[in-house]
């Protein structure tokens, strides 16, 4: 198992600290006793930051908030100043947007460039960990057929997404490409990339804005009562993903991209995990919808589920190779059942789903 070498003298920076994924990263870093420079859009919004202050109160580390916006040049400089490792998680994660260029691609790409400008300008920075995505590896499950090994791995890049089709995946691909370009143009800091699949598991609080919560909520609020499409996914637990970030930041030899995905699974299998404990009280989907039904009704239920997305993803499996993350970062992954049940328990506890 590779060991981490954590320099506790230098602060670290986490961008987008209010986010679902970032919350656990901030907690893990504070638990290590580090000083965390957390960037948020509005440091005066005490309500939005309360869960992070609570985590700080129970941890040996110190939390400092900095205002930064992805779209504002120069906005990350103060937060990055003096930091050794920078974790860049901020990026919009939404499926239904009005203007994909303005709402997804600009903040993802310009934000990454702005952040890396700050890394270039601050000599203390030795490593940048970028939260990319498996979405930068593949666009549709059907892309699996074109991969050299019949698996999504670190060698594969998403070439099928565009502004018109799978715009979120396109934004993540463009952002990661921009990051590698800037990393390759210098030699002081090392870029280490994590490429998570769909993130599930309880947040530090209920992060209603993240698509991850929409998916689990819809499995319990009746939206998917009629059934779920047979659509393949990779899933990783948010707590395991935080661990992957720490290792990407502090394992001395970590390099390149890393598929961070615990399980090759599907919507029906994800729902199946919830049925033993919750199936009698909540409308957890029991059926797999035939593809023709998804084709007919999917676009009416969800703007992101258009006919092209359906034909290239429904009935197609997802298969990824996480062996690099296990070998080089020492990753181990929680069971899918633990992830799904802990996540659903959080929604029950907070009244986000109602028992029948």
Contacts of residue 349, defined as CB under 8 A and 6 or more positions apart, other chains included, come to: none
Nearer to ligand NAP, 27 or 207 (CB): 207
Residue 77 makes contact with ligand NAP by CB under 6 A: no
Nearest by Cα to 353 from 220, 226, 247, 214: 220
Sign of CA dihedral 273, 274, 280, 282: negative
CB of 175 to ligand NAP, least distance (A): 8
Partners of 152 in the β-ladder: 320
Total residues contacting ligand NAP by CB under 6 A comes to 26
Residue 257 makes contact with ligand NAP by CB under 6 A: no
Estimate the crossing angle of helix 167-184 against helix 106-121, to 10 degrees.
Answer: 20
Nearer to ligand NAP, 66 or 283 (CB): 66
Q: Which of 172, 239, 247, 263: binder of ligand NAP (CB under 6 A)? A: 172
Token duo for residue 48 = 């939005």
CB of 296 to ligand NAP, least distance (A): 27
Which residues, 86 to 145, sit near ligand NAP by CB under 6 A? 89-93, 107, 131, 133
CB of 290 to ligand NAP, least distance (A): 27
Nearer to ligand NAP, 194 or 284 (CB): 194
| Residue nearest ligand NAP by beta-carbon distance | 19
Contacts by 175-179, CB closer than 8 A, 24 or more apart: 175/91, 175/108, 175/109, 175/111, 175/112, 175/130, 175/132, 175/136, 176/112, 176/130, 176/132, 176/133, 176/136, 176/257, 177/136, 178/109, 178/112, 178/113, 179/88, 179/112, 179/116, 179/128, 179/130, 179/132
Residue 69 makes contact with ligand NAP by CB under 6 A: yes
Q: Which of 70, 80, 294, 320: binder of ligand NAP (CB under 6 A)? A: 70
Nearest by Cα to 347 from 217, 214, 199, 212: 217
Nearer to ligand NAP, 171 or 283 (CB): 171
Which residues, 212 to 241, sit near ligand NAP by CB under 6 A? 212
Nearer to ligand NAP, 225 or 338 (CB): 338
Nearer to ligand NAP, 71 or 296 (CB): 71
Nearest by Cα to 93 from 20, 193, 178: 20
Q: Which of 82, 209, 222, 227: binder of ligand NAP (CB under 6 A)? A: 209
Which residues, 9 to 38, sit near ligand NAP by CB under 6 A? 16, 18-22
User: What span, in angstroms and rounded, lies between the C-alpha atoms of 265 and 336?
Assistant: 9
CB of 80 to ligand NAP, least distance (A): 14
* Segment lying near ligand NAP (by CB under 6 A), choices 55-63, 195-203, 242-250, 307-315: 195-203
Can you point out the beta strands (E) in the chain? 12-15, 35-40, 62-67, 85-88, 127-131, 190-196, 198-200, 228-229, 232-237, 259-260, 263-266, 288-289
Q: Residues interacting with ligand NAP, by CB under 6 A?
A: 16, 18-22, 41, 69-71, 89-93, 107, 131, 133, 172, 196, 198-199, 207, 209-210, 212
């Amino acid at each position: 198992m590779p060991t981490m070498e954590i320099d506790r003298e230098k602060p670290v920076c986490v961008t987008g600290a209010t986010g679902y994924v970032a919350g656990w990263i901030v907690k893990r870093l504070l638990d290590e006793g580090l000083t965390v420079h957390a960037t948020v859009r509005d440091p005066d919004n005490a309500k939005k930051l309360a869960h992070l202050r609570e985590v700080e109160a129970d941890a040996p580390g110190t939390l400092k908030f900095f205002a930064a916006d992805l779209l504002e040049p120069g906005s990350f400089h103060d937060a990055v100043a003096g930091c050794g490792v920078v974790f860049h998680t901020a990026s919009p994660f939404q499926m239904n947007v009005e203007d994909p260029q303005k709402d997804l691609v600009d903040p993802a790409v310009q934000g990454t460039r702005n952040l890396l400008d700050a890394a270039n300008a601050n000599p203390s920075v030795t490593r940048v960990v970028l939260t990319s995505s498996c979405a930068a590896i593949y666009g549709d499950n059907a892309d699996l057929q074109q991969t050299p090994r019949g698996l999504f791995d670190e060698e594969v890049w998403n070439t099928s997404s565009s502004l018109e089709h799978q715009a979120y995946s396109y934004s993540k691909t463009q952002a990661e490409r921009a990051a590698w370009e800037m990393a390759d143009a210098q030699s002081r800091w090392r870029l280490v990339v994590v490429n998570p699949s769909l993130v599930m598991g309880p947040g530090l609080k209920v992060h209603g804005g993240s698509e991850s919560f929409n998916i689990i909520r819809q499995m319990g609020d009746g939206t998917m009562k009629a059934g779920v499409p047979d659509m393949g996914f990779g899933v990783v637990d948010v707590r395991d993903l935080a661990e992957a970030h720490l290792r990407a930041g502090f394992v001395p030899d970590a390099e390149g991209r890393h598929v961070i995905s615990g399980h090759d699974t599907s919507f029906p299998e994800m729902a199946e995990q919830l049925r033993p404990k919750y199936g009698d009280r909540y409308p957890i989907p029991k059926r797999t919808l035939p593809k023709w039904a998804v084709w007919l009704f999917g676009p009416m239920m969800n703007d992101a589920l258009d006919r092209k997305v359906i034909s290239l993803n429904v009935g197609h499996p997802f298969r990824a190779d996480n062996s690099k993350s296990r070998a080089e970062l020492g990753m181990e992954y929680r069971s899918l059942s633990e992830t799904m049940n802990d996540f659903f328990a959080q929604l029950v506890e907070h009244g986000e789903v109602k028992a029948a």
